[in-house]
């Protein structure tokens, strides 16, 4: 019998679709507009091909990846995601536990269901705090101070949400934060008793960091996050002594200016297609940003990654580290901690198999020659 309960990301998605209320599944699965940007992320990665090589057997495959002064055990990590506990009660802690067990970074969102202090205590240096500049600047600086006080070494500033894009599925379902339950939502929950009872016992998820910030208000999902501008980046760089990553970058000129502002890494992402439906596929932007910044500047990538092969493709296109988002929430929604562990096992195994197929023994040696054809 296989050790996996989930074999691929699509397994997790299909099981989560059955198990979760529509309002929750659509929050995880949905995107902006007609969802063409999200679909294009997947299609662009799918069109990329890896080139098999033969007669290159090896007994050991090395996945360890040094990045920003940390010795990571894997070339991928957990993207910062808000309100993860909607997928399953305790999801934030389940993600942190896997990060520690596997030696990979865990992005802790401003909008997490668990306080940044609790996540730092559990994941240590592998917890990377992600900052939204939402509401007042005072609230943002208070979050930065809290992250510094509890020992975060890495801060991710997200800059691609100057105005929160409405997502049609959420609008149709009446999704909002703080969470409100009307007749439509009540009937949805009643059809999914397993999730509903577990969530009722655990308590309704909330954006815990706002309740814990002195003078902070409840998290408003649709509040402007336009405070993340160039002036704020300059101030943050002067104030934050740890590593600074800027997330949500697609334009090479922006990437060069961010590097000049003193950022330690650029995070190429189109927010999983959740902000601009006409945005380019993130994997295409990655190659352009890499060309603009040269071979050595640290780059992180997400958007559309679903498998070990996708991770290899992104690394071959210039990423130094790849982050996973939606698939992990699918796995949590499908089968809680067991589903998450199972899918991560399957992704690592698919990564190792793909490395064997392309004749790669050390993940740090991946480059564009491992692709079957250049991007077009």
CB 307 within 8 A of CB 8: yes
CA 281/CA 154 separation, integer angstroms: 27
Cα-flanking dihedrals φ and ψ of residue 127, to 5°?
A: -85, 120
Bridging pattern class, strands 265-268 and 76-78:
unpaired
Q: Which residues contact 61 (CB under 8 A, 6 or more apart)?
A: 352, 355, 356, 360, 361, 362, 363
User: Which H helix or E strand runs over 45?
Assistant: helix 36-47
CB 27 within 8 A of CB 332: no
From 106, 192, 271, 370, the catalytic residue: 271
Cα-flanking dihedrals φ and ψ of residue 126, to 5°?
A: -80, -10
Cα-flanking dihedrals φ and ψ of residue 317, to 5°?
A: -90, 0
What b-and-e string marks burial along 280-318, b requiring 16 or more CB atoms within 10 Å of the CB? bbbbbbbbbbbebbeeebbbbbbbbbbbbbbbbbbbbbb
- Residue 271 falls in the annotated catalytic set: yes
Q: Which residues are paired to 206 by β-bridges?
A: none
What is the Cβ-side half-sphere exposure of residue 71, based on CA atoms within 13 angstroms? Answer: 1
Classified as helix, coil or strand, 12 is: helix
CB 130 within 8 A of CB 107: yes
CB 292 within 8 A of CB 256: yes
| Structure-block tokens of residue 25 | 């599944």
Active site residues: 271
């Amino acid at each position: 019998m296989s050790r996996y309960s989930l074999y691929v990301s699509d397994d997790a998605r299909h099981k989560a679709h059955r198990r979760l209320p529509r309002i929750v599944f659509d929050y995880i699965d949905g995107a902006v507009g007609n969802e063409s940007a999200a679909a294009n992320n997947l299609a662009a990665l799918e069109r990329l091909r890896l080139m098999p090589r033969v007669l290159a057997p090896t007994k050991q495959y090395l996945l360890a990846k040094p990045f920003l002064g940390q010795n990571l055990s894997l070339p991928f990590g957990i993207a910062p995601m808000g309100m993860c506990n909607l997928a399953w009660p305790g999801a934030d802690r389940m993600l942190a536990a896997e990060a520690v067990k596997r030696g990979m970074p865990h992005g802790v969102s401003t909008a997490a269901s668990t306080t940044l202090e609790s996540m730092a205590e559990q994941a240590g240096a592998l917890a990377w705090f992600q900052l939204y500049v939402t509401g007042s600047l005072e609230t943002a600086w208070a979050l930065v101070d809290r992250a510094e006080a509890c020992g975060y070494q890495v801060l991710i500033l997200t800059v691609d949400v100057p105005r929160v894009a409405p997502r049609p599925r959420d609008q149709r379902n009446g999704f909002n934060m703080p969470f409100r339950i009307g007749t439509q939502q009540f009937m949805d929950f009643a059809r999914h008793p397993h999730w509903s009872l577990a969530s009722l016992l655990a308590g309704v998820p909330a954006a815990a960091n706002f309740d814990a910030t002195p003078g902070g208000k409840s998290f408003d999902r649709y509040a402007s996050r336009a405070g993340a501008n160039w002036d704020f980046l300059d101030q943050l760089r002067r104030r934050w002594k740890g590593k600074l990553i800027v997330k949500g970058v697609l334009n090479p000129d922006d990437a060069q200016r961010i590097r000049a502002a003193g950022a330690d890494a650029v995070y190429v992402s189109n927010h999983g297609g959740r902000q601009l439906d006409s945005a380019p596929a993130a994997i295409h932007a990655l190659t352009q940003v890499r060309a603009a910044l040269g071979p050595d500047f640290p780059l992180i990538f997400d958007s559309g990654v679903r498998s070990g092969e996708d991770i290899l493709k992104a690394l071959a296109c210039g990423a130094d580290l790849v982050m996973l988002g939606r698939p992990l929430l699918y796995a949590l929604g499908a089968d809680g901690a067991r589903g998450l562990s199972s899918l991560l096992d399957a992704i690592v195994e698919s990564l190792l198999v793909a490395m064997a197929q392309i004749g790669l023994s050390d993940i740090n040696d991946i480059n564009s020659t491992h692709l079957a054809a250049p991007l077009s």
